[in-house]
Amino acid sequence: MYRRVLLACGLVAVSGAVMAQGYPNKVIKLQVPFAPGGTTDIVARIIADPLGKVLGQSVIVENKAGGGGVVGANETAKSAPDGYSLGVATVSTVAANPAINPKNPYNPLTDFTPIINVAATPNVIAVHPSFPAKDYKSFLEEIKKNPGKYSYSSSGTGGIGHMQTELFKNLTGSFITHIPYRGAGPALNDTVGGQVPMIFDNLPSALPFITSNRLVPIVVAAPQRLSQMPNVPTFKEVGLEPVNRMAFYGIYGPKGLPKEVVDKVNAGVRKVLEDPAVRKRIEDTGSLVVGNTPEQFTAQIKAEYEVYKKVVDSAKLRLD
């Protein structure tokens, strides 16, 4: 009996190795857990086509929105561990949402195989031009003297925009109503259109509207002031360092991905990120190119989750 078990295990290992050696031999799906138009979608589409060329098979971006990224992330977690169903990992899906949502259907630390962190990006609070305040001091004064009068949009309940704005509210003693969307794209559309007065968003998706004066930036989460918005302070500058956290965009797959597949995708993405044209497209969005190892990305996910879990517990944050 034991010999049969050992033989079966050996056959599984051999078949996995053979599969990995021939990888990829068909189209790879890269799932974005938000609607089109947001930063996650932008970064995925920047790297998908050149990655497909490096790997020798097409990489197709597929959007699966819902639940602040949970629906798409859960589908990635439940996919076959063969390397043909990968996902874009974000702070929302592996840290913020799992930290605040006790009913989250997956474990961010055990149900995925991290492959590589592609880029990190600042976050920004921006308002519609009709909003009565155009700088941080007057913005804070306006929302504090009018609790409940204003609302803000985000990419979804439990996402990084929701979590960081709730932390901002907690630290400043202010109250603005959360309006969640199925991704940053729809949230931006309504904010730019004036249906919602403000948004907490990742910079790459918000920046085109800021540069065209259709949104006014108020405060950013970044290591230092940004060259694109030199007059806009960071959260750290205004005394809110806990909110001063950047987002990230990486690639992961379901747990159990063969090491050969992980290494091949990691090497492929790193090769793509060496291309000056790709780097420029990412950096032009206000993001920073990362390109780390699977082990480094695994550690980063764990650290980020622990930070947001602590934020949730200490600030007593709860889902709407």
- Token pair recorded at residue 237: 């500058």
Q: Who contacts 127 (Cβ-Cβ below 8 Å, separation ≥6)? A: 133, 134, 139, 197, 198, 199, 215, 216, 218
Mean pLDDT, consecutive 10-residue stretches, the chain (320 aa), reads 50 49 94 94 97 98 94 98 98 94 95 98 97 98 97 92 92 95 94 98 94 98 93 98 94 98 98 98 91 98 93 77
Q: Who contacts 190 (Cβ-Cβ below 8 Å, separation ≥6)? A: 153, 179, 181, 196
Outline which parts of the chain fall under CATH 3.40.190.150.
Answer: 25-120+247-315
* β partners of residue 221: 123
Separation CA 65–CA 44 (nearest Å): 14
Contact of 37 with 187, CB cutoff 8 Å: no
Contact of 203 with 52, CB cutoff 8 Å: no
Q: In 136-211, which residue ranges form alpha helices assigned H by DSSP?
A: 136-145, 160-172, 184-192, 203-211
Give the number of residues written for the chain: 320
Burial of 6 (0-12, 13-18, 19+ CB in 10 A): exposed
pLDDT value of position 320: 56
Burial of 105 (0-12, 13-18, 19+ CB in 10 A): middle
Separation CA 198–CA 218 (nearest Å): 10
- Token pair recorded at residue 106: 């997956």
Contact of 30 with 87, CB cutoff 8 Å: yes
Outline which parts of the chain fall under CATH 3.40.190.10.
Answer: 123-243
Q: How far apart are the first and last CA of the chain?
A: 54
Q: Who contacts 241 (Cβ-Cβ below 8 Å, separation ≥6)? A: 235
* Class (C level, CATH) for 25-120+247-315: alpha beta
pLDDT value of position 124: 97
User: DSSP label at 290?
Assistant: -
* Class (C level, CATH) for 123-243: alpha beta
**198, 182, 187, 183: which is closest to 149 by C-alpha?**
198
Q: Which helix (H) or strand (E) holds 223?
A: none
pLDDT value of position 21: 67
Q: How far is CA 127 from the centre of its chain?
A: 21
Separation CA 91–CA 307 (nearest Å): 11
Separation CA 159–CA 164 (nearest Å): 9
- Token pair recorded at residue 14: 């051999």
pLDDT value of position 12: 46
